[in-house]
Amino acid sequence: MAEPAARPKRRKWRVRLKRRLKAASRSPGAVRVVGRLIFEGLRAIRASQREAAGSSDYNAILHEHHPAIVALWHGQHLLAPFFRPRDLPYLALLSRSADAEINAAVVERFGIETVRGSGGRVREAASQKGGVRALIRMKRALDDGFGICMIADVPKGVPREAGLGIVTLARLSGRPIVPSAAITSRRRVLEKTWDKTTLPLPFGRIAVIMEEPIFVPPHASADELEEIRARLTLAIERANRRAADLADRKTSH
């Protein structure tokens, strides 16, 4: 039987070990290695997918409205690089969390530039989250001909509810928001995550849906911005449902 005094020491040792392992996993070298592995895995998964019948002609849509703000949900964003036209420059907004370093490593390997900040919150604690700086950077990128890939819902907020950040960017830039979704028929949903993160699996069908672009008037009032934010929420969710229906539809032989 272990001595009672030894138990707290063991707990402290385990806590220290976990902290060191976590720190090691976030080191630049580890981020590069994990980012490369995820990138190669996603490329292999994409190569194994067939496009679901009825998907939007995303290449034509994004060329027609370029530079546009492509709006997605958290948890549904892993396939975003697969429907970005390779001949168009894009910049993606990522959070400032330590975990987002790996996301940035993956996205940049796809040839997409990144900016860090919180896209959902513009008024509340924007300076702490880097929201204002990110907003300025994205507005300049749109002016320079870059499309923006932006997750519309707020990190750790209400999942699948668009924040005001993306609507504000559309108002300032004059560029349209394209509500989008991409889903694979073979997937695993991480139910314990706040956003129900969906991992694509190989050898299935991929469905991509884009709703009609949403424009925000340059002099929109606070009430108008709120109305557009609610409309955007419905549009992205509608795209998600349509994509899931197409991906999961059984094809006849």
Confidence of residue 252 (pLDDT cuts 50, 70, 90): very low
Going by their DSSP bridges, the two strands 90-94 and 147-151 should be labelled as parallel
The Cα 90–Cα 102 span in angstroms is 18
Question: Domain segments of the chain: what residues?
Answer: 8-248
Class of the CATH domain delimited by 8-248: alpha beta
Q: How far is 77 from 245, CA to CA, in rounded Å?
A: 18
- Are 158 and 229 a contacting pair, CB within 8 Å? no
The whole-number pLDDT of residue 190 equals 86
Query: 7 or 148, which is more confident?
Result: 148
* AA letter at 226: E
Residue 56 burial by CB count (10 A; 0-12/13-18/19+): exposed, middle or buried?
buried
Q: What's the whole-number mean pLDDT along residues 47-59?
A: 95
- Tell me the sheet residues that pair with 206: 51, 184
Question: pLDDT confidence of 194, banded at 50, 70, 90?
Answer: confident
- Higher-pLDDT residue of 103 and 226 is 226
Q: Is 228 helix (H, G, I), strand (E, B) or coil?
A: helix
Res. 25: pLDDT tops 90: no
> What distances in angstroms separate CA 150 from CA 93, 132, 224, one per listed residue?
5, 15, 21
E-strand ranges in 26-67 read 50-51
pLDDT confidence of 179, banded at 50, 70, 90?
very high
Confidence of residue 120 (pLDDT cuts 50, 70, 90): low
Q: Please compute the mean of the pLDDT values over residues 47-76 and round it to a whole number.
A: 95
Q: Confirm if 116 and 173 have CB atoms less than 8 A apart.
A: no
Average pLDDT value for residue range 22-50:
83
pLDDT at 128: 44
When comparing pLDDT for 196 and 234, which is higher? 234
Question: pLDDT band for position 71 (50/70/90)?
Answer: very high
- For residue 196, what pLDDT is reported? 80
More reliable by pLDDT, 19 or 152: 152
| φ, ψ for residue 69, nearest 5 deg | -105, 105
Distances (CA, A) of 91 to 82, 114, 179: 14, 5, 16
Q: Any residues with CB less than 8 A from the CB of 77 and at least 6 apart, and which? A: 151
The confidence score (pLDDT) of residue 150 equals 94
User: 3-7, 30-34, 234-238 — which is least confidently predicted?
Assistant: 3-7
Question: What is the per-residue pLDDT for 46?
Answer: 93
